[in-house]
Structure 1
Amino acid sequence: MPKILIILPRGETIRNFIYTDIVKELRTHYHVTLHAVKPNEPIWELLEEHSDELIELQPEKFSYIYKLFFEIFDLAHNRYMWSEAAKVRWEMRDVEANTIRKKAIRFFKKTVARVLANQRALVFLEQIDAWLANREQQIITHRNCLKAEKFKLVFNTSHSHARIALPLIYAANQEKIKTATFLYSWDNLTSQGRVVPRYDYYFAWNSKIKADFHSIYPHIEEQQVLVTGTPQFINHFNDDKCLAKNDLYLKIGLKPEDNYFLYSSGMSHHMPYEPYVVERIADIIKAIDPNLKLVVRTYAKDKGDVFDALKHKRKDIIIPNVEWEKNFQTPLESDQAFFIALMKNCIAGINVASTISLELCMLNKPAINVGYNPPGKDIYPYNYTRFYSFDHYKPIVDSGAVQVAKDEEEMRLFLEEAIQNTDNFSAERSALVDAFFEQQLGEIVKDNFIKFIRQSVNAN
């Protein structure tokens, strides 16, 4: 059998490619070697079952010179994009430079970055990046291993937040082994760093992300970017992967006749005072109907104690534990079934400009966004309202599929509307899902990945 190497550099890629059986299906065509992070022993045993060979990813160890270069490279890319998300990133780093020394270093780096913030310079920096990286010892070691194995493809299942995967990709490029990556999230292109090193193939959620990619990286050929859909929602459409309503209610302590709203929290360092916002929303719900419940899904990748005070203070607000393995931020299969059930059975979902809005829409549930800052709180330099102008999220708002509450009174109106008629804006939700996902949902996505990986392996 031809051999392929699949890299699982973060916990969520295990959810995307192992829990959905994509890797299992690939093993019917290829000898599959997994290079993966090791969250815990049970998950490691699961990975062993899904691979022909399993190797633990080791932490990357780049030299100081390379790290300094890459930081300036990343800044230059950020200034070149200058999206709303990039501006916020830039501003946050300015705020973090809070001493004279830090300010001076920050000023120097920004000055250099501004000079380099153009397409020609960035393409040249990609070449410098590869030249520097390929002199790192860890990449030389990987080259020797890859040369011996004769892989037909090296597939990195997340292009972002996964520097641990990059030495293998640099090594594969040097050995002229074909490479592919999944453009991990719909916001990463305009909110995160540059996609490096270069790959032969890029898998995108939809045509808009493909177009965004080509606008940022015009030197990448059109045929190198393939629209696959995203695997993280495959199990949303599999009843066997969803907790039954009775089991869900038993788990969170609800009675069969109870109804609830679902609040999904964000990252606390981007959304200060969010527990305070949630408590006030709980009061609004209670004023509408004392029998209604509020369930809070805390952000799994955030600090675990953010909502502890609220949990102890307000016993009427249900805040279940999130069943993730903290090592490498890894969702457990049990949590996936639980979370899907939470969304499917709520009256409506509430969040601050989250991907969960898309998930609610695909499940035809009302999605209400908090479009105001915590009342009476000074949160500068943060701003909840700014998220709705971000390049990736603004089209969602403009679609009319989600309702953005500009203040607490409008939040109350939206909550009341959702209670009275959950089908309100159903047509807008359906239109958004059709346009955004382009019929690439459920098992179709699995089929796409199998097809395009096989196509990548067989391409000349």
Structure 2
Amino acid sequence: MIISWDNLTSKGIINADHDYVLAWNELMANEYRLFYSSFNAPDTQICVTGIPRFDIYFQKLPENYSISEFRKRYRIGASDKVILFTTSAINHFPNQADIVEHLLEYVSQKQDITVIVRCHAGDHSMFYTKFLQEPDLRIWHPDNTHNSYNISKRIPGLETPLSLAEMLIYCDVCLNVASTIRLEAAVCNKPGISIAYDGNLKPELTHSVQRFYAYSHQVPLNDLGIDHMVFSKNELFSSLDEILYKSSLPAINYTEGIEKFTCHSGPFGVSTSMKYIDQWLN
């Protein structure tokens, strides 16, 4: 079971003979065929399941995840716009705290905006302690929640995907760094901004976050143009202005065109996966 869209393109060889391969979509299935054909392995049955963890976005959230509870939980004013920044693992983007500084600079020029920084499990909350007194900033980190983790802390409790769904559904814009969140924001029909610059640094392209958007799993999503890719602080500010304040712009359905990634337009990823697993076991 290929559990993430970048497992084939950035995680190295999966060294085993596979009877069944469960992939999110035909794009991933074709990547598997391309990358593993050189091993002359026996024919493998590749099953396209959709994205099981995306089922949550096609279902109604529990009552305690309503918009009023969301604003109460994160102390957000009733009229505030919400910027959600989902960080990456620290080895993916070491200086992403710079982006938080840029967001706070942007917010200081506006009124009634709350920024939520949702830290990746592989990010370190210590990098954000200097922002704790900022009145317009909220920081969420899995280490600071009461979710139940297993011993290795690699598998989150059910509250974690629920809290992400809540943030995506109720935010006004979502920022990410070459993450699956690009696709999740689109499924929630939210405008997205993809960070393609390195904060206050200007490294060579080979060491820049910009390079991550050239991975083959990212390129088809780039081609859809469903989000704003920004290459500087100024471009970030311009994109935020356009998304948050130009209400005269026509409404965009961000879910159009992403079916080739999600395969389903309903909560069918888990049931489809179970169907193929049952076939294999029987």
**How many Å separate the matches in 2 of 1:234 and 1:277?**
30
| Contact 1:214–1:220 (Cα < 8 Å) also in 2 | no
Structure 2: distance between partners of 1:200 and 1:423: 50
Correspondence for 1:278: 100
- Tell me the CA shift for residue 191 of structure 1: 0.3
Change (3 A) 1:259 1:309: same
Query: How far is the alpha carbon of 1:332 from its aligned partner?
Result: 2.0
> What is the rounded CA distance, in whole Å, between the counterparts of 2:140 and 2:36 in structure 1?
42
Give the conservation status (yes or no) of the 8 Å contact 2:89–2:121: no
Question: Which residue number in structure 2 is paired with residue 438 of structure 1?
Answer: 263
One-letter identity of the residue aligned with 1:392: H
Displacement, 1:437?
Answer: 1.6
- Which residue is equivalent to 2:273? 449
Greater Cα offset, 239-248 or 203-212: 239-248
User: What residue is the counterpart of 1:225 in the other structure?
Assistant: 46
**Which residue in 2 is equivalent to 1:193?**
12
The answer to whether 1:410 aligns with 2:231 is: no
Give the TM-score taking structure 2 as reference length: 0.88
1:435–1:283 Cα change, 3 Å: same
Aligned length, in residue pairs: 273
Partner of 1:261: 83
Classify the secondary structure of the residue corresponding to 2:98.
helix
Q: 1:286 to 1:370 in 2, by over 3 A?
A: same
Deviations 1:207-226 (A, max 9, x none): 11001100111235665111
Q: Which residue of 2 aligns with 1:208?
A: 27
Bigger Cα displacement from structure 2, 213-222 vs 260-269 = 213-222
Q: Which residue is equivalent to 1:317?
A: 137
Residue 377 of structure 1: how far off its partner (Å)? 5.8
Q: 1:273 to 1:400 in 2, by over 3 A?
A: same
Task: Give the Cα–Cα distance (whole angstroms) in 2 for the partners of residues 379 and 308 of structure 1.
Answer: 29
Summarize the Cα distance change of 1:327–1:315 in structure 2 as closer, same or farther, 3 Å threshold: farther
Provide, for residues 255-298 of structure 1, a one-character-per-residue CA deviation record: whole Å limited to 9, x for no partner. 222221101111112212211221112212332x2211111111
SS of structure 2 residue aligned to 1:443: coil
Aligned in 2, Cα 1:271/1:291: closer, same or farther, shift over 3 Å? same
Cα 1:204–1:189 change in 2 (3 A) is same
User: CA-atom RMSD, angstroms?
Assistant: 2.4
Q: How many angstroms apart in 2 are the aligned matches of 1:349 and 1:241?
A: 22
Aligned to 2:120: 299
Relative distance call for 1:240 and 1:199 in structure 2 (3 A) is same
Alpha-carbon separation, structure 2, partners of 1:418 and 1:383: 26
Does the 8 Å CA contact 2:52/2:268 hold for their aligned counterparts?
no
Q: Which protein, 1 or 2, shows the higher relative CO under an 8 Å CA cutoff with sep ≥ 6?
A: 2
| Structure ranking higher in helix proportion | 1
CA distance in 2, matches of 1:446, 1:276: 38
Residue number in structure 2 paired with 1:426: 252
| Structure 2 Cα separation of the partners of residues 205 and 430 of structure 1 | 17
Q: Which residue of 2 aligns with 1:247?
A: 69
| CA distance in 1 between partners of 2:216 and 2:248 (Å) | 28
Cα contact 1:214–1:222 (8 A) shared by 2: no
**Percent same amino acid at aligned positions?**
24
**Partner Cα separation in structure 1 for residue 137 and residue 204 of structure 2:** 24
Q: Give the counterpart of 1:370 among 159, 182, 195.
A: 195
User: How do 1:131-170 residues align onto structure 2 when only pairs under 5 Å count?
Assistant: none
Out of 387, 390, 395, the position equivalent to 2:215 is 390
TM-score (normalised: structure 1): 0.55
